[in-house]
């Protein structure tokens, strides 16, 4: 069983993001980068499936700058077997360009992928589009936001996802693409032995052309500065007015 996990190097969410001088990208100097947290669930799911089957390969693939090799290495330290680095220095804003490039690279893998996993979203660009787009381009069945994943004895995957008011339970036959959501599992730490073993694992750098973008970022803007608060009254007497304002003005109720 060959499982491919799409991962991304993203700024630590605790970082303060600054817009670069071009107004369209973020300043990366001084930022701390981490493995996208939603992708950790995908890696853990892949490792658990491989352990359950007792055989197979987990390949982690990323599209990003030279430093993204570190992100691949941390996934290899968790237990993935093989890394694929599609090196590209510029920040890509168009989900199609990213998805098309990844899909081409996945098609070039040997053996072919039996299952593709990806985090539901990258915590930086938040498009939530790359996983489903890759599925479309590869003509794979796609289930998003998976919170439970079980492999049936015959190889089909029973997956659950959260929907409004409950759970949806689906049966998918690989090859397929799943995007992973929080709650699916608890990602393991890279153990010291895993870290030592990761040094010897291969990271391939296939020559895959970056696909053309179908959309372009015009500019990035900071959110408006927060306005000062307002005291609407004191004690229980103020509650009706507070509720009215929350409903009518703030529109949060």
Partner 1 sequence: MSAYRALDLFELDALLTEEERLVRDTARSFVSERVLPVIERHFEQGSFPMDLIPQMAELGFFGANLEGYGCAGLGAVAYGLIMQELERGDSGVRSCASVQGSLCMYPIYAYGSEEQKERWLPRMAAGEVIGCFGLTEPDHGSDPGSMQTRARRTAGGWVLNGTKRWITNGSIADLAVVWARTGEDASSIRGFLVEKGTPGFSAPQIERKWSLRASVTSDLILEDVEVPDSAMLPGVQGLRGPLSCLNQARYGIAWGAIGAMQACFDEALRYATARTQFGRPIAGFQLTQHKLCEMASEITKAQLLALRLGRLKEQGRAQPWQISLAKRNNVYWALEIARTARQILGASGITHEYQCGRHAANLESVITYEGTHEIHTLIVGKQLTGLDAFQ
Rounded to an integer, what distance in angstroms lies between the CA atom of residue 140 and that of residue 131? 11
Question: Which of 53, 196, 239, 246: binder of partner 1 (CB under 8 A)?
Answer: 196
Question: Which of 190, 203, 213, 220: binder of partner 1 (CB under 8 A)?
Answer: 190
Task: Tell me: does residue 183 bind partner 1 (CB under 8 A).
Answer: no
Measured from the CB atom, is 26 or 203 closer to partner 1?
203
Is 77 in contact with 21 (CB distance < 8 Å)? no
3-state secondary structure of 100: helix
Stretch that binds partner 1, among 100-108, 162-170, 184-192, 242-250 (CB under 8 A): 184-192
CA atoms lying within 13 Å on the CB side of residue 59: 24
Task: Tell me: does residue 51 bind partner 1 (CB under 8 A).
Answer: no
Task: Tell me: does residue 189 bind partner 1 (CB under 8 A).
Answer: yes
Site for partner 1 in 30-49 (CB under 8 A): 32
Is 65 in contact with 88 (CB distance < 8 Å)? yes
Q: What order do you get walking across the sheet with 176-180 strand by strand?
A: 166-172, 157-163, 142-151, 176-180, 115-119, 2-7, 57-64, 82-87, 203-204
What tokens does 208 get? 């895959």
CA angle 15, 205, 34 (to 5 degrees): 15
For residue 47, what are the CA distances in angstroms to 2, 84, 105, 156, 237? 11, 17, 21, 17, 57
Question: Which of 55, 199, 222, 230: binder of partner 1 (CB under 8 A)?
Answer: 199
Measured from the CB atom, is 107 or 189 closer to partner 1?
189
Task: Tell me: does residue 70 bind partner 1 (CB under 8 A).
Answer: yes
- H/E run at residue 109: none
Measured from the CB atom, is 156 or 188 closer to partner 1?
188
Measured from the CB atom, is 143 or 184 closer to partner 1?
184
Question: Which of 59, 62, 74, 144: binder of partner 1 (CB under 8 A)?
Answer: 74
Least separation in angstroms between residue 37's CB and partner 1 is 11
Least separation in angstroms between residue 102's CB and partner 1 is 24
Question: Which of 21, 110, 163, 192: binder of partner 1 (CB under 8 A)?
Answer: 192
- Residue 247 — left, alpha, or beta (φ > 0 → left; ψ -120 to 50 → alpha)? alpha
Site for partner 1 in 118-147 (CB under 8 A): none
Return residues touching partner 1 (CB under 8 A): 12-14, 32, 70, 73-74, 77, 189-193, 195-196, 198-199
């Amino acid at each position: 069983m060959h499982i491919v996990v799409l991962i991304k190097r993203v700024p630590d969410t605790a970082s303060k993001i600054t817009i670069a001088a071009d107004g369209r990208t973020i300043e990366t100097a001084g930022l701390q980068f981490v493995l996208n947290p939603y992708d950790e669930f995908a890696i853990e799911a892949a490792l658990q499936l491989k352990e359950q089957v007792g055989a197979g390969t987990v390949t982690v693939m990323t599209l990003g700058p030279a430093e993204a090799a570190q992100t691949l290495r941390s996934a290899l330290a968790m237990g993935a077997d093989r890394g694929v680095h599609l090196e590209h220095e510029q920040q890509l804003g168009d989900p199609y360009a990213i998805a098309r490039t990844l899909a081409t690279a996945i098609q070039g893998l040997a053996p072919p992928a039996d299952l593709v996993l990806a985090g539901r979203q990258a915590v930086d660009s938040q498009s939530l589009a790359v996983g489903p787009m890759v599925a479309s381009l590869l003509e794979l069945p796609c289930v998003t936001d998976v919170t439970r994943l079980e492999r049936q004895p015959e190889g089909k995957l029973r997956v659950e996802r959260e929907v409004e008011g409950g759970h949806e339970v689906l049966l998918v036959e690989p090859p397929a693409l799943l995007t992973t959501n929080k709650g699916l599992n608890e990602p393991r730490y890279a153990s010291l032995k895993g870290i030592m073993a990761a040094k010897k694992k291969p990271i391939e750098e296939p020559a895959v052309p970056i696909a053309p973008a179908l959309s372009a970022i015009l500019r990035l803007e900071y959110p408006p500065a927060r306005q000062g608060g307002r005291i609407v009254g004191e004690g229980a007497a103020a509650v009706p007015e507070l509720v009215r304002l929350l409903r009518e003005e703030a529109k949060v109720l």
